[in-house]
């Protein structure tokens, strides 16, 4: 066990496009979506211990401990670890719930990757991703940490390298319900699957956007304001919205015009996640010590 305290990033993601191709008999939806990370993160400060206990502190929403994805991920990994191993985890929560940024899934993925490192379990990414599927369909993308097209229910990943654009990210005050969106009879569920090359070259859309706009007037208002300045879409099932710019200065110009009611910030797309970057740094430092 590596007895050191490390502050681990749990980055947000954007769905640069999201197409729903059909609904399976088990109720899950088949989809094609493009994940890219952005430089906004939750942070988990983790100190391993030998008490076998998992403790969780910090800015945690009103969720029972056993239902918290960070705790569930830690307890899941403990099944593959010596019984005496535990960890103290402090959470800095920056990503909104119900925003379509993947905050809970990213937190769970970072927990698995970080504890695998601290506890020296030496599980590879494939093994961690397989474990994580019980926590949510989006968790594997955060474990692999590379921009990718996801298919199936989100578990089939194909790495791609979209342009690392700058974005204005708008965060509404409402919490969008994913079950409500996927249960909406008006939701588009029959978009035809397309080859990856064609997907990457066409104008992008989100099949959930109309449904969310119809049910959440605040999201509709945000989109209507931003789309006057740049291509603007919902991410995931929402409610966060992003507008795409070629550079930071273009994004800043529009941000400076934003009305006071619009909760907005600049961010950049990343094809390699901050979690991957930190792991590479830790591995390099370890190599330097060995050499």
Spell out the domains of the chain, with CATH numbers in brackets.
Answer: 6-161 (3.30.230.10), 166-270 (3.30.70.890)
Say whether 260 is catalytic: no
Spot the catalytic one: 42, 107, 138, 207: 138
pLDDT in tens, 3-38: 799 999 999 999 999 999 998 888 788 999 999 999
Reported pTM? 0.94
pLDDT in tens, 158-210: 999 999 999 999 999 998 998 899 989 999 999 999 999 999 999 999 999 99
**Residues 89, 74 contacting (CB under 8 angstroms):** yes
Say whether 13 is catalytic: yes
Spot the catalytic one: 13, 72, 146, 213: 13
pLDDT in tens, 120-159: 999 999 999 999 999 988 999 999 999 999 999 888 999 9
Query: Mean pLDDT over all residues of the chain?
Result: 94
pLDDT at 62 over 80: no
pLDDT of residue 5: 96
Cα–Cα distance between 116 and 6 in angstroms, integer? 13
Ramachandran category for residue 100: left, alpha or beta (phi over 0 → left; psi -120 to 50 → alpha) = left
pLDDT in tens, 109-129: 999 999 999 999 999 999 999
């Amino acid at each position: 066990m590596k007895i050191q305290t490390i502050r681990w990033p749990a980055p947000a993601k954007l769905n640069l496009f999201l197409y729903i191709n059909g609904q399976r008999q088990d109720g899950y939806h088949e989809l094609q979506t493009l994940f890219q990370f952005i430089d906004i993160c939750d942070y988990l400060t983790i100190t391993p211990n030998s008490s076998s206990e998992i403790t969780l502190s910090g800015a945690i929403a009103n969720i029972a401990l056993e239902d918290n994805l960070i705790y569930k991920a830690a307890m899941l990994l403990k099944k593959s670890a010596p019984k005496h191993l535990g960890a103290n985890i402090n959470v800095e929560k920056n990503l909104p719930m119900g925003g379509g940024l993947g905050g809970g899934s990213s937190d769970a993925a970072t927990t698995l990757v970080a504890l695998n490192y601290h506890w020296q379990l030496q599980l590879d990414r494939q093994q961690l991703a397989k474990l994580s599927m019980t926590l949510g369909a989006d968790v594997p993308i955060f474990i692999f940490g590379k921009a990718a097209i996801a298919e199936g229910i989100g578990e089939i990943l194909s790495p791609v390298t979209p342009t690392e654009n700058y974005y204005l990210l708008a965060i509404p005050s409402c919490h969008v319900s994913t079950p409500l969106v996927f249960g909406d009879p008006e939701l588009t569920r029959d978009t035809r699957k397309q080859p990856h090359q064609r997907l990457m070259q066409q104008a992008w859309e989100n099949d959930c956007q109309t449904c969310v706009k119809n049910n959440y007037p605040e999201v509709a208002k945000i989109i209507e304001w931003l789309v006057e300045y740049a291509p603007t879409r919902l991410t995931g099932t929402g409610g966060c919205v992003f507008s795409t710019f070629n550079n930071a200065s273009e994004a800043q110009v529009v941000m400076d015009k934003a009305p006071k009611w619009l909760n907005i910030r600049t961010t950049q797309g990343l094809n390699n996640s901050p979690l991957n970057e930190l792991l590479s740094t830790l591995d390099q430092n370890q190599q330097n010590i060995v050499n």
